Structure 1
Amino acid sequence: MNCTMGPDSFNETQTNITGVTNINKFLEIMEYHVPFALRINKCLTPIWYLVGGIGNIVSARIWLHPRMKACNISANYLAALAIADFIYLFLHVFYELENPWLVGTLDLPIWCEVWNMLYMSVQYLCVLLVLAFTTERFLSVCHPFKSERFSRKTRSPRVIVLSFVVALLFGCPQAYFWQVSETESVCFVRYSITSAEGSFYTIYTWGSEMIMFGVIPLVVLSLNICVLLRIKTAGQLNIRATRTNQPGHASVTTTITLLCVSFYLIVTTLPVTITFAIQNNMVLGPLMPLSQMGDDPVWTAYFNYYSARTIIKEICMSHHVSNLFIYYATSKSFRKRTKECLLCASKNKEGETRQCPSLLLQTKVQASNQ
């Protein structure tokens, strides 16, 4: 994988730009004037794939363990979030190969439409899942006696399914918006729905993006602030251990874990939303030789915006990757279960045992031997 491609790789005879007519020409200009931004994109994203792919699989497996679900009412939400993050990273591979690597992985009929629908739907699902467990924790802390019905363990699968349906409904219009061009065989937005000012595509895209990545994170932030204020004024978490089947300390650590996940989503979502909001105000500069674009104020402004947007996007993409580290740092039960899994794996690798017994079974065996 070449991560050191620079502007010198372009032939000087190709510096007379006739217009940014396709993604190839656009990336040629960016590679010449802001190669650092493209290098970050090409080099950092594969690292996210590796770390996030392994981390989300491990997270989902641990949260889906019966013992974890028994002691943590939000385990189903966190497992679903890990699965959604993994799917997002898998789908993002196709986008990365399309742009900036220009492999053309999306330029296929039907797949172009389906991919855009799934890609947006899974992003919506991640936000809705965070909203779901944030609301659950808000009710448990601030309104413990009114949260009986919402916080039941049997209710979380229904909420997850509902979140999936809502995310899919919000993402379905993308299947209509995108198509493969018959002339150039490129996946792009239908010209018929973007030619008119104030088109349905523009209104719907702005509306859905602002709701999912602007309004909902602000709602999550407000709920988290209420939880923190409640903790501060009460001096302790008012969560009934008899309902959650976990001691008070476990309730505290669970709340800390969920708060960290929520806040990290907010910190990494709102900057991308802001860059998206100002995107329409940024325009490409006039036609001129490639080597002179750096001296034009319009082109310079766009180069600065593109560099900032690329760096922000790459950093903020980490919220699909780093939840494993949040769980390990804030949840004692998650750390304990992770160490057990690692111990099991090491023993199986060494051939000492074929199955790692639970701690409860180990205790019973020791007691019987004594």
Structure 2
Amino acid sequence: METTTFPNLFWDDNVTEHVSQSSDMVEENIDKIYEIYLPRILSSSKYVRIIMYIFGFSGNLLAFLLWIRKPMIHSSGCYLAALAMSDIAFLILDLLYSLHNEWGINTFNFPIMCETFAILYLTTQYTSPLLTLGFTTERYIAIKFPLKRKIYCTPKRAITIMIFLVFLSLALCGIQGYFVTYYKEKNDCLMTKDKLQIWESWTWSTEMVMFLAVPVMILALNMLVIFEIRKSRTIALELRRIIFKTSATTTMLLAVSFVLIFTTLPVSIAYALNNSFPPGIIHISLSDINKDPVWRAHLRYYEASKIIYIVGLTHYVMNFYIYLVAGDKFRRHLLIMLRCKKS
């Protein structure tokens, strides 16, 4: 991470002058530090999210409606329909999160809603890589053991596995409601201090599994799928048989898997490095922050991690557009659906 080229921090003279006039301590203004020193990245995050919501909601809704149509609802279609619904659920919750934290609109600081939001927001994030792992595993079975495809790669089995994966995500995230509490006197949803250490250990463990171990497993399975496809082609050449083309479904699933890997792993690495770039001491005035090397390193890390996180969110938006590019059958049936015709 230290060798990564970070966007430069420009210390605006007007901002510095404004800050220097304040004698308040950082401890009293810690929520304002990023707003003062990183206004561009915070404002960019808000407006990039708006674009993501526009393309994400429309794309995932169309994908879901198409994958549940009869000609498309094979086992892989079941996974992709569930993935579209999971992405829609995440975007709804992320919209509430953005309104609350970036626009200052209270969306979940209420009794029960506080704890429920903490559970569901993380659950939808866990469901996406698990579903991707599910259909990647299925695709490997279909390529490696084609004769067993009708046994293991069926819509009924896919639905059973999807239900299990959703409940697994809920089970892992259910404890999040225990860590946060709504405080009426502060009108805020806060982490309970005596549970902070448990929360850090649990969240660190589960997120490293979901956003690091699972993507690595998906990557390994993708490599095996590609290897089996090449192996089949080599055998076909040796036997002078017709070389089969990789199916559009396999291409789409590989593309979706790789997009998730390339957008999720950098976020996991940035998250893992969080403790390596802590904020500086809080017993200095706000005007001294830009002179403190610890604070400068932290702000550079925060800016870089914010960019990485926003890029990481794109896999909740991109799937529909991957289907359009990689799936000829998907495009044909989309046109049929938009024209309100039967397939």
Structure 2-normalised TM-score?
Answer: 0.88
- Which structure's relative contact order is higher, taking Cα pairs within 8 Å and 6+ residues apart? 2
Name which of 355, 358, 370 aligns with 2:342: 358
Aligned to 2:297: 301
Q: Which residue pairs with 1:328 in the alignment?
A: 324
Deviates more, 1:39-48 or 1:320-329: 39-48
Q: Is the 8 A contact 2:53 2:91 kept in 1?
A: yes
Where 1:101 maps in the other structure, the secondary structure is coil
Count of residue pairs the alignment pairs up: 323
Q: Which amino acid aligns with 2:105?
A: V
Partner of 1:124: 126
Match of 2:221 among 214, 220, 223: 223
Distance in 1 of aligned mates of 2:41 and 2:219: 31
1:270 aligned to 2:265?
yes
User: What is the RMSD of the two structures over their aligned residues, measured on CA atoms?
Assistant: 2.2
- Cα distance between partner residues in 1 of 2:271 and 2:192: 20
5 Å-filtered alignment, 1:22-101, equals 25-69=29-73, 72-101=74-103
Q: CA offset at residue 8 of structure 1? A: 5.0
State the 1:11 CA deviation: 5.3
Describe the superposition over 1:123-156 as per-residue Cα deviations: whole angstroms up to 9, x where unpaired.
1111111010000001111222344432122211
- The answer to whether the 8 Å contact 1:15/1:290 transfers is yes
Three-state SS of the structure 2 residue aligned to 1:288 is coil
Deviation per residue, 1:71-96 (Å, 9 max, x gap): x4300100100000000000011111
Aligned-pair distance for 1:259? Answer: 0.3
Asked if 1 retains the 8 angstrom alpha-carbon contact of 2:99 and 2:105, the reply is yes
Structure 1: unaligned runs, 5 residues or longer: 1-5, 239-247, 345-355, 360-370
From 248, 251, 257, the equivalent of 2:252 is 257
What's the secondary structure of 2:110's corresponding residue? coil
Counterpart among 204, 208, 221 of residue 206 in structure 2: 208
Instruction: Please say which structure displays the higher CA radius of gyration.
Output: 1
CA distance in 2, matches of 1:14, 1:28: 15
Distance of 2:77 and 2:15 partners within structure 1: 52
- Identity across aligned pairs (percent)? 32
Q: Distance in 2 between matches of 1:111 and 1:304?
A: 34
Cα shift at 1:200 = 2.3
SS at match of 1:235: helix
CA deviation string 1:210-269 (max 9, x = no partner): 11111111000000001111111221899xxxxxxxxx65x6111000000001001111
Name the amino acid aligned to 1:267: F
Deviant stretches of 4+, over 6 Å:
none
Provide the C-alpha distance between the structure 2 equivalents of 1:132 and 1:27, rounded to a whole number of angstroms.
40
- With over 3 angstroms needed to count, the CA separation of the structure-2 counterparts of 1:14 and 1:146, relative to structure 1, is farther
